[in-house]
Structure 1
Amino acid sequence: MPRVGQVLGIEGTAWNLSAAVFDEDLVSLSSSAYSPPKGGIHPREAAQHHAAVLKDVITSALADADEIAGVAFSQGPGLGPCLRTVGTAARSLALSLGVPLIGVNHCVAHIEIGRFATGFADPIVLYASGANTQVLGYLNGRYRIFGETLDIGIGNALDKFARHHALPHPGGPVVEELARKGSYIPLPYTVKGMDLAFSGLVSAAKDSAAPLPDVCYSLQETAFAMCVEVTERALAHTGKDEAILVGGVGVNSRLQEMLSVMCGERGASFSVPERKYMGDNGAMIAYTGRIMLESGQTISIPQSRVNPAYRSDQVEVTWRREAGSVFDRRQSDEMLRGAEAEVELSGDGARKRRLKKGYRHPILDSELIRERTRAEARIIASARRAGVPTPVIMDVTRDTILMEEIRGDILKYVLDPASAEEVGATIGKLHGAGIAHGDLTTSNMIKRGDQIVLIDFGLSQITSEIEARGVDIHVIFQTLESTRPDADLLKEAFVKGYCNAFPGAGDVLVREHEIELRGRYL
């Protein structure tokens, strides 16, 4: 791609207004943050702040710049009034300078500045910010979302807790400081496949009568362990061996430590960008705008309308020429390792042992291992009695299940429409038996002849609730969308099998769509 010169980037999706100029490296960076007098961010007040300081921030960023080749701005997602303020300024500057306009997705900008700053080529990305918590990876021209929060972002969760205790905004740094003096208390832990939810955790933390440092410590330990677990699930599912952390919450040293420990245990590489690139900043918009401009990805004035709900997986990534990869690394026939456990295959069956996680607090880790092992063995047996293909359970200890070895192919390597329809029928039978699997990825299914055998029931539950069934369908749909170019065809085949096998399928599919919408920018 041809070199384009310097690009001005303007970021203003929420509380921070920032501008920067990027060439081969960062030329300048200028910022001004809005701080609410009380409570959370007030969108109109934040936009008024941005309008008041815009001229000074941009003038400062341009002080050391040469000729500007393009103007990039955060087109979304974000708070509407703030986005419109920045969008108006960017259009005016592009017109007055006679240069191209580049609309940048805020989330993708976090990823790209993270790749630039760490040097990692094709990582799994944990994006942890105020309004967003997502696990992403690149495949075939788009950033695919493997998992995300189904309610509020991790930063907003910390802010809500902080406001409840009259702590200053933003809440994350204050919670981190108080947590250094605290001890662990149990709080709710909610992981749904590669998705997660924070509302129940925050409510329990706000209601806790424990000393504030203890609650802060446990809130961090629990929320961050959830984030790291879903990141590890994405690494295990895709076979990628690099991970990075981006977004404002990523400056938290404990979250960085936990991810580093997890990657070390898996033999994966982990890195974090410099602090100046972590929070919302103009540098990430300028850099991403520059590589977009190099690939010819600009917009006209009529196309430059802001989009407060702009999803990262809606962006066509024209500046990356490679296809990306998933499922490249097959494991040995004797030892398989997933996100949670090792499975040893031997003559007497498959021995699944849940692994201790060094990143999780020992009490939390021990309880999760015990609960998930017992639940998995019990529910596998119940599913099998209902006619759902599962392994036969032979023995159970506190952290290990000895079960029948299923000979076949992990479905993610051999999935086709016929298999997808059979998956739908199998899940329909499972739901008809009052069981939700909880982790329906194509890594947790084995194709044995024409049969689909379900494995890894560690997040499963006995329930007839439509919400749990909807989450099951959402997880498998999200898995297909993030890993397969023919996802629509496979989803159609799945739905056919599911509807044929389960009378309540229509209501569950409606709920799945509602769950999908919860993952939009909040």
Structure 2
Amino acid sequence: MKSGPVLGIEGTAWNLSAALFDDDLIKLVSDPYKPVQGGIHPREAAQHHASVITRVIGEVLDDGPKPVAIAFSQGPGLGPCLRIVGTAARALALSLKVPLIGVNHCVAHVEIGRFASGFDDPVVLYASGANTQVLGYLQGRYRIFGETLDIGIGNAIDKFARSQGLPHPGGPEIERLARQGSYFPLPYTVKGMDLAFSGLVSAAKDASAPLEDICYSFQETGFAMCTEVTERALSQTGKNEMILVGGVGANKRLQTMLREMCDDRGAAFSVPIPQYLGDNGAMIAYTGKIMFESGSTLPVELSRVNPSFRADQVEVTWRDEPVVSGNHEESATTRGAEAVVSFTDITATKTRVSKRYRHPELDKRLINERTRAEARLISEARRVGVRTPIIREITHDAIVMERIIGQKLKENLTPETLIETGRMIGRLHSSQIIHGDLTTCNFLVQGNKLWLIDFGLALTSSEIEHRGVDIHVLYQILESTSNDSDNLKKSFMKGYRELMPEADEILTREHEIELRGRYL
């Protein structure tokens, strides 16, 4: 259905912006809130939005065509800001007698990225102040493959910038200073498909190095973490397109890292023009337009804002299911996110691949540490009764082990296999082994037996937190790849409870970890 121009109003946080969008952008007007000091103050930002919203919308509509619908950012975001925008959108829709469309802010970033790139089915890195997520479309929703477990990369940058007396937002100044810096090690925290930045911020604040070196090392570390989990999503899903969206996407170093990673994987990469990267009314108007054309509108009584509105809560009515390639030919080698595995009839050799996007010192350290830790924990897991390959030889970057022939768990997701998966992880966790990367590509099903074949991010820990994160990674993968994820998770917990006495406490922690991903 061809609709006509849609007015979009964005105001989730710092930027009050409105736009009119038809087949292309007609007009975009923004008036950002600029704090006198520190970060965003929600009530001050809302007061700013209230003071400028009439003028901004008026400028967009002045001498333009009448909109056929009003779209607004329904969430996620800062509650006071969202309420200003929601109230204005409802009043305008009633006044003009046109439909109202509530748009998920995160989904809007994705859709304007798809529009700008022309890509059909990309993996998306959404990097902004409060959000750091890796998303992809599957079975009617945008699934979150991985995300920050604490703060977004943009907020991490701003927190560090404030500690050094740099202006807000801190990204541009840190990027400028980083061009003059040299590398030194900072904490690198990747947990399967997820990541965390608090340790990086704390270490950067306490560092005694020159500010240029801290800025350089902060970027090299934080952006490499983002690139690694994005590559893991590309590997897990088999997609061959990738886009970067969100305000932090304007950083040239992050763009370079992602482009190098995609080039090395043979994937297409795109980043929208700057006016589409940060929060903007155009993305709300465009997404509202495609939602309207697919029949997604809101009765006024259902138009309440939602500060914790998740991208994976949105029913995507405007997209068709992508065509999945049926090519599953066996090969003498396979490539994952971190390594290439080559096979003989009886052995599998896992060789970690140097990453062009990572600083050479960081790259070498990760390869050495992960190879040694993996070999040790494969052997320890085997000793406690978990089926793992027998190790035959170890070098600084490679492990030669027994070859296990079987079907990946992601191709055999049944209640029975998930019960056995739960037993296996319960056995690991009760022995204080944390796998660190519980994706369904790292299990092999062989008859009625299950094997765990990859311990690349494993560690030892007795902490509830680490066990909860381990399960959270698995749950995210199940939610992003299966329509039956609730039942599969129940099956997993049935097996897990058999061997893990603290199972219920760990499950509670997993839910707390999930809630941390909400927009705060």
Give the aligned partner of residue 413 of structure 1: 411
Deviation string 1:128-185 (CA, Å, 9 cap, x unpaired) is: 0000000000011100000000000000000000110111110111111111111101
Give the whole-Å Cα distance in 1 for the aligned partners of 2:254 and 2:423: 40
Report Cα offsets for 1:399-429 as digits up to 9, x if no partner: 0000000011111112211111110111111
> Pairwise mapping of residues 104-503 of structure 1 onto structure 2 (< 5 A)?
104-320=103-319, 322-324=320-322, 330=328, 332-503=330-501
Shift of 1:348: 4.7
1:91 aligns with 2:90: yes
Judge conservation of contact 1:135–1:146 (CA < 8 Å) in 2: yes
Q: Note the C-alpha offset of 1:300.
A: 1.1
> Counterpart of 2:145 in 1: which secondary structure?
strand
The SS at the match of 2:121 is: coil
Alignment-derived partner of residue 8 in structure 2:
9
Shift of 1:331: 5.9
Q: 1: CA distance between counterparts of 2:188 and 2:202?
A: 12
Alignment CA distance shift 1:410-1:257 (3 Å)? same
Amino acid at match of 1:234: A
TM-score computed with the length of structure 1 as normaliser: 0.98
Distance in 2 (alpha carbons) for counterparts of 1:279 and 1:234: 23
Distance 1:329 1:80 in 2: 47
The structure-2 alpha-carbon separation of the partners of 1:163 and 1:184, relative to structure 1 and needing over 3 Å to count, comes to: same
Residues 63-98 of structure 1 show CA distances to partners (whole Å, capped at 9, x for unaligned) of 242121000000000011110011111111101101
Which whole-Å deviations, capped at 9, do the CAs of 1:6-46 have from their partners, x for residues lacking one? 00000000010100000000000000011100011011111
**Shift of the alpha carbon at 1:327?**
8.1
Aligned letter for 1:506? Answer: D
Kindly indicate whether residue 10 of structure 2 is the aligned counterpart of residue 40 of structure 1.
Answer: no
CA drift of 1:260 comes to: 0.3
* Cα separation, 2, equivalents of 1:191 and 1:91: 42
2:431 counterpart letter in structure 1: A
Q: How far apart are the structure 2 equivalents of 1:64 and 1:178?
A: 44
* CA distance in 2: counterparts of 1:325 and 1:260, whole angstroms: 25
Alignment partner of 2:124: what SS?
A: strand
Name segments (4+ residues, structure 1) moved above 4 Å: 325-329
Contact preservation (8 Å) 1:238, 1:327? no
Q: Which runs of 5+ in 2 are unaligned?
A: none
AA partner of residue 170 (structure 2): G
Return the letter of the residue paired with 2:511: H
* Residue aligned with 1:68, SS: coil
Q: 1:47 touches 1:81 (CA, 8 Å); kept in 2?
A: yes
User: Does the aligned pair in 2 maintain the 1:130–1:154 contact within 8 Å?
Assistant: yes
- Work out the CA distance in 1 between the residues paired with 2:512 and 2:220: 29
Q: SS at the partner of 2:396?
A: coil
Question: Secondary structure of the residue that 2:372 maps to in structure 1?
Answer: helix
Structure 1 gap ranges (5+): none
Instruction: Tell me if the contact between 1:238 and 1:326 (Cα under 8 Å) persists in the aligned partners.
Output: no
- Is residue 240–residue 326 contact of structure 1 (8 Å, CA) maintained in 2? no
Structure 1 residue 347: Cα displacement: 3.3
Partner in structure 1 of residue 56 of structure 2:
57
Indicate if the aligned counterparts of 1:46 and 1:82 stay in contact, CA closer than 8 A.
yes
Supply the AA of the counterpart residue of 1:311.
R
Give the drift of 1:330.
3.5
Q: How many residues align?
A: 520
Task: Identify which of 493, 496, 504 aligns with 1:506.
Answer: 504
1:515 is aligned to 513
In structure 1, how many angstroms separate the alpha carbons of the residues matched to 2:59 and 2:30? 9
Q: Deviations over 1:376-420 (max 9, x none)?
A: 000000110111100001100000000000011111112211111
Q: Distance in 1 between matches of 2:425 and 2:479?
A: 18
* Preserved CA contact (<8 Å) 1:51 1:85: yes
Cα distance change of structure 1 residues 15 and 328 upon mapping to structure 2, 3 Å threshold? farther
The code of the aligned residue for 2:223 comes to F
CA distance in 2: counterparts of 1:327 and 1:358, whole angstroms: 28
**In structure 1, how many angstroms separate the alpha carbons of the residues matched to 2:337 and 2:56?**
45
Q: Is the 8 A contact 1:141 1:323 kept in 2?
A: yes
Residues 308-352 of structure 1, C-alpha deviations (whole Å, 9 max, x = no match): 0000000011111x2236785536331111000000001351010
The answer to whether the 8 A contact 1:138-1:325 is kept is no
**Could you tell me how far apart the structure 1 residues matched to 2:348 and 2:341 are?**
6
State the shift of 1:501 in Å. 2.0
TM-score norm. by structure 2 comes to 0.99
Structure 1 residue 240: deviation in Å?
0.6
Do the aligned partners of 1:237 and 1:327 also contact (CA within 8 Å) in 2? no
Counterpart Cα distance in 1 of 2:156 and 2:247: 13
1:249/1:268 Cα in 2 relative to 1: closer, same or farther (>3 Å)?
same
**Following TM superposition, by how much is the alpha carbon of 1:503 offset from its aligned partner in structure 2, in angstroms?**
1.7
